[in-house]
Structure 1
Amino acid sequence: MLVCQCNLITQKEVEDTIIDLLNQDPWQLIVPAKVYHAMKKRGRCCGCFPNVVETIIRVTEQYHRDAEQSAEIICYLDRVRQLRDEFGRKFNERRSTGHRAA
């Protein structure tokens, strides 16, 4: 599945990049810009960033659950999800409600 149409980046590429970053340092802060930089890409329209944030949260949560460090990270990720639901969803991809993709 394509995550970024501007750069033709797939979900699998984003997930693999996040796992590579977590293997380097499991407790680093991973943001979309860091993921794109690791892939040697750049955000163009940045409409995909909210979806990349969701992928970062999901992959990080699974990574730490597999490493049995879930107690600390799961609480933090739940808080990030709560904030995202409160503030981030209504401006998803910066498109109005009536916008239709071609």
Structure 2
Amino acid sequence: MLVCSCNFITEKEIVDVINGLLDEDCWQLIVPAKVYHAMEKRGRCCGCFPNVVDIIIRTTEAYHTRRDSTEAEIFDFMSRLKRFHEDNRRADIERRQKRHRAA
């Protein structure tokens, strides 16, 4: 499935990069910019970033399930990642509203 039409990046390419990053350090925080940097691409319109975050979450959960990580490790990491995602999404919404109010 095509995830980023600006750079023609598929979901499989993103999953492969995420798995490669997790092989290097399985507890690192992976964000869309890190994935794009590893692919030597950059976000253009960045409309795909929310979908990339969802792919990162799914892929990371699957990786740690295959790795036989303890449930406590997985839960703690995934809750921190989801909180990071929600905080950033909330900041995006607040920025949009401020811009609309000023117009």
- TM-score norm. by structure 1 comes to 0.76
> Runs of 5+ in structure 1 lacking a partner?
93-102
Residue identity (%): 58
Residues paired across the two proteins, number: 93
Structure 1 or 2, whichever has the larger Rg, is 2
**Counterparts in 2 of 1:18-97, with a 5 A limit?**
18-69=18-69, 70-78=71-79, 80-81=81-82, 84=85, 88=89
**Contact 1:22 1:28 survives alignment (8 Å):** yes
**Contact 1:61 1:74 survives alignment (8 Å):** no
Higher helix share: 2
**Contact 1:36 1:42 survives alignment (8 Å):** yes
1:3 is paired with a residue of what secondary structure?
strand
**Contact 2:6 2:44 survives alignment (8 Å):** yes
Change (3 A) 1:30 1:83: closer
CA RMSD of aligned residues (A): 2.4
Q: Which runs of 4+ in 1 moved over 6 A?
A: none
> Runs of 5+ in structure 2 lacking a partner?
94-103
2:27 is paired with a residue of what secondary structure?
coil
Residues of 1 paired with 2:77 and 2:7: CA distance?
Answer: 30
Residues of 1 paired with 2:3 and 2:12: CA distance?
Answer: 9
1:44 is paired with a residue of what secondary structure?
coil
